[in-house]
Structure 1
Amino acid sequence: MKGVTLMSDKYYDITIIGGGPVGVFAAAYAKMRQAKVQVIESLDQLGGQVAALFPAKKIYDIPGYPVITGTDLVKNLVDQAEQFNPEFYLAETVQQIHQENKFFKLITSKRTTFTKAIIIATGVGAFQPRRLNLPEASQFENNQLRYFIKDPNEFSGKDLIIAGGGDSAVDWALDLMPKAKSLHIVHRRNKFRALESNVAKLKETDAVIETPFLIDKITPSDQQRIKVTLKEVRGTQQKEIEADYLLVNYGIVSNNKYLKNWNLAVQHGLISVNSEMETAIPGIYAIGDVTNYNGKLNLIAAGFGEAPIAVNNALLELYPDRRQPMHSTQLVKALPKSEHFN
């Protein structure tokens, strides 16, 4: 990734903690404002939950895109940011934050760095997929058993079983059904929790809907396949299905416990902010799903709007004499030629 650079100076105007969609856009906008910016991301890739868990999911509420996949959204955001060369530090976690004079001292898992302002964009926090609760499941993970989809084409011409009844599980089924040789979707209730229109679309496909069933056992089958035993909920019926892959989408398990180590006022894992997106600690701002305020919406689009508010207010505090921004075209024209996109 061309935007990942070596640290040349440990002092920054703004440090963005979290490299999900909202954090990456905040970095791009802060660089438009000619701030010295770094992004610290705990995962080994940018894009947060969208990239790690739901890259194939189709997103319909991003302005300017009738529909876009998680993978394409993250790619576009990274391409946009890399026009302005922010510094991205991946597979690195912020462990401690201390205020020292006019700077915040950040102690991470890899280094110590200093910043004048902080924007927290950590989303739901540390997360992992909710795993299949069977003792034998671990031996199949990353092979026949998957918890997320990176490349939908990998499953072309394959027999698939999808477990789950929410929006993401149904999205997976709709996306993979045209590619798959066969597809069964297993849910423990007769009624899916996904968007009604998508459930209706699913029922119009050749997908076999297995409800109400639970996965009772998984065993290896011939030719590197997997055999899945289903058990009827509150019943005695059992089924066995063989497939190339079992794709489990039971949601995610997440926490923001690390926020307490940063001495922030946190309630139910969320940070309260004011209309300027500032937390209870002056100089520390928060945006995206980690925030809480009256009327808050947990939408990527809402986070995109919060990012410039946080950046502009942070820079206003740091540089009160600096002219406030007008339009993006004026911002880009003001950048040195070396930072323009050619």
Structure 2
Amino acid sequence: MTKTIALIGGTGAMGRAVVNTLLNDETEDWNVRLLTRDPKSERALAMKAAGGDRVAFVIGDLYDGTGLDAVMKDAYGAFSNTNFWTAGEKSVARERAYGLKVLEAAERAGVTLFIHSSLDAAANRSDGAVPVPHYDAKASVEHEMDWRRSDEFFRQDHDGWYTNNTAILVTEPYIENFQSIFLPEKSTLSDGREGLIFRGPLAGDAPWPMVALDDIGAFARIMFADPDQWGGKTLRIGSDAPTISEAAATFEKVTGVPAEFAPPSDEAFLASDLPNAHDVLNNFIFYRKGHSAPRDYDALRAIYPGLRSFESWLRETGWRGGAGDVQKDAISGE
């Protein structure tokens, strides 16, 4: 039986990975329906060309709520990855409001499984010391979902949809960010060789947790395929957590291209032309101070044996330091 998945953020980096995984699934017959302001965009047209009749679009806008009920209508499941950075809406409160709009549209439609894409709650986990707004916005929706799943909420004459039909997938920075917003620089290394310098204000011994986009898609497919198992659950995923020094060494080992890690000072990073540099700096500080929630990679590989390490991702993709088509805009993560 064909099952339709509604997607919010479906033409973004994560959304495309979820769509591609569903369309290439050989065990289930999935269709996808995406909310979009522009079904004629380059990415939307490419998706339609790849998926044919299995890909449909509903014209709408998350920010005014148009199209939400239409995209959810008769859908088996829904996947939501809202974008903190778009349309000048850089506000935790606003993204929370948009995320709840999506959640409640899925509830009205009675989808079998709704998946909210979240990130670690930086402000909470750091006791307020290191807020990361684009993390905290998604986490605030996660916290609201936790409340609506609670026994106390259920007792208030609710039917258990939140308890049984919602899931949360907590991700980490994409490995593919090395192909875009954290692209290594061609330069002379400290030993005089010409090569690539990996940047980012992270301490050399601090792990940098990452997840491959295709792995996000794989976990979403696993959850949609077994709603009885994943309804009411939260799954924190990641692919690997090397230090950036280790990542640079692994890159050189796999590719043969000389590489090293040379972090800028926080002041130099803030003075760069990177949009929203202050928020991104806090993102690095959050990880270098060890505030992130731990991931159990062995348990995750038991769920999905194909989970990639940074090294296996390098070998699979053949990436040698060049730019790639990841985010739709410079720093969105979408």
The structure that is helix-richer by fraction is 2
Fold-level match, TM-score > 0.5? no
Task: Normalising by structure 2, report the TM-score.
Answer: 0.25
Task: Normalising by structure 1, report the TM-score.
Answer: 0.24
